[in-house]
Structure 1
Amino acid sequence: MQKFIGTGVALVTPFNEDLSVDFDALIKLVNFNIENGTNYLVINGTTAESATISKEEKLKIIDVIVTTNAGRVPLVLGIGGNNTLEVVKDIKTTNLENIDGILSVAPYYSKPTQEGFYQHFKAISEATEKPIILYNVPGRTAKNMDAETTIRLANDFENIVGIKEAGNNMQQYLELIKNKPKDFLVISGDDDLALSIALAGGSGVISVIGQAYPKEFSTLIKDGLEGNNKEGFAMHFRLMSIIDLIFEENNPAGIKTVLQELGICKNEVRLPLVKASATLQAKIANFVKNF
């Protein structure tokens, strides 16, 4: 699955001041990323505030991104949840003609056993022929999917091609890289660990900060994949403080503040999320100005 190696970005959903979707800003964001080295785009993930976007809005967002992309880079669509039957239904009823892969989050809130994780993703795998990237993010789902479960799924289902691992757990990353099937992708979901994971044998990143600094972050990941640790860490150190800042309060309030400073979109978010505090906005503005 060469198309998912490198830098993917989890796109935000820009909003107008009335909290309607700002499609002009979305088009601007997509073009900015494609023109500056992002390898693939992730649509309607957590960073897109998918929990507070309606089904109708999601379909329009997909349509606008597909049209804007015009086949230039691969597209990955977030379809996941804790109601397995509903996720399977969504996959079967969504037009995936222009979608290259599905990113599916581990079931949240329900806290399944490891066998529950396995059966959930087995059902999803059997619902489509599209490549599936698993998404383990225990900080949001309240339960970790163990490396052993991921490797079991990777061995048993041909279309489960990778995992976005976002537990900020270096030991689990290394277990995955050590024990994975040859072509299975271990993708960092942690911007702060992305370079280290690429250097250790991972396949790249699905990034949040990457959409604001696509040229710099994709260069960093390329250096990691090619084993250029000195150059990679030089860029990592330049970006370290902004990576910390965007996650200081909540995601995507932080990254939307960066994008506002760059003139790409407003920093509006939908409740229960709130905008970055004035203190955080000032810190981010200072970083952007001096980068």
Structure 2
Amino acid sequence: MTKFQGTGIAIITPFKDDLSVDHSALANLVNYNIDNGTDYIVISGTTGESVTITQEEKKEITATIITANKGRVPLVLGIGGNNTSDVINEIKATDLSEIDAILSVSPYYSKPTQEGVYQHFKAISEICPVDVIMYNVPGRTSSNMSPETTLRLAKDFSNIIAVKEAGNNVHQYLKLLRDKPEDFLIISGDDDLALGVVLAGGAGVISVIGQALPKQFSKMIRLGLEGKAKEAYVIHFQLMHIISLIFSENNPAGIKAVLASLDLAKSNVRLPLVEATNSLQKEIKQALQLLD
């Protein structure tokens, strides 16, 4: 499972001014990250605006990333939803030959019981030809996948290898780290908590800010995995402000404003999201200047 240790990034979907996908910027972003220490790439997650891209666009985005990657780092593809049969059908219909794992979000909106969450992932596990990373993000799903449910799934299904935990709940992280099977990975989905999670035994992070600052962020996580807390926290403290800024309005508008400031992609997002306000863009530029 070492392929999913370290820093993964939840890559954005760059858009041109007409809101079509900017495949050139996407390929450049892949290369920028790999060249600067990112360990793996997650395609079509929350930060990739997966809910406002079409299935055809998703295929094209995936193809662009596969081509740019050239097999250099593992790839994870987001395939999840609140209709279990639709998720299963998408998995079956998707060419996963170049994909190392799927990232599948815990069912949202329906607010299933914990048994419903278990049965959802059981059904996915039984048909998925690649490894499964579960994704718990209660702030978006309105349904928390409890540590007990996560660990039950981890113990019952060998191809459920990890959870991306993004509840911003330190106690829940610690329960998972204390009780998990030895080979099951706890991956932070919270940039602000990632270092602490790694130092407590976590495998790493699927990061938002990491794609804009891959050299600094991946070094911080690498130091954490090596147990070098003092050195890692020097970087953490430097990044704290920019991390808080990118989530202050909405994600991915914040990270797209950072990438625009770095001339890596335009700041365009699709409705119902809107671009970062002028005041936030100004704050982000100032924060980036302090990191130079």
On whether the aligned pair clears a TM of 0.5, the verdict is yes
2: CA distance, partners of 1:287 / 1:86 = 42
Match of 2:95 in 1: 95
Residue 140 (1) aligns with residue 140 (2) = yes
Question: Where do 1:1-291 residues align within 5 Å?
Answer: 1-291=1-291
| CA RMSD across the alignment | 0.5
- Deviations along 1:201-239, one digit per CA (max 9) or x if unpaired, are 000000000000001000100111111110110000000
2: CA distance, partners of 1:242 / 1:187 = 21
Specify the code of the residue in structure 1 equivalent to 2:16. Answer: N
Specify the code of the residue in structure 2 equivalent to 1:140. Answer: R
Q: Percent identity?
A: 64
Unmatched tracts of structure 2, length 5 or more: none
1: CA distance, partners of 2:102 / 2:6 = 17
- Deviations along 1:147-167, one digit per CA (max 9) or x if unpaired, are 000000000000000000000
- SS of residue paired to 1:269: coil
1: CA distance, partners of 2:226 / 2:177 = 16
- SS of residue paired to 1:231: helix
1: CA distance, partners of 2:144 / 2:64 = 34
Q: How many Å apart are 1:289 and its aligned residue?
A: 2.1
Q: How many Å apart are 1:287 and its aligned residue?
A: 1.1
Specify the code of the residue in structure 1 equivalent to 2:48. Answer: A
- SS of residue paired to 1:73: coil
Unmatched tracts of structure 1, length 5 or more: none
2: CA distance, partners of 1:129 / 1:266 = 35
2: CA distance, partners of 1:57 / 1:102 = 18
1: CA distance, partners of 2:14 / 2:288 = 19
Specify the code of the residue in structure 2 equivalent to 1:60. Answer: E
Q: How many Å apart are 1:127 and its aligned residue?
A: 1.1
Aligned residues: 291
2: CA distance, partners of 1:99 / 1:85 = 21
- Deviations along 1:61-114, one digit per CA (max 9) or x if unpaired, are 000000010000000000000000000000011000000000000001000000
1: CA distance, partners of 2:284 / 2:85 = 42
Could you state the TM-score of these two structures normalised by the residue count of structure 2? Answer: 0.99
2: CA distance, partners of 1:288 / 1:165 = 27
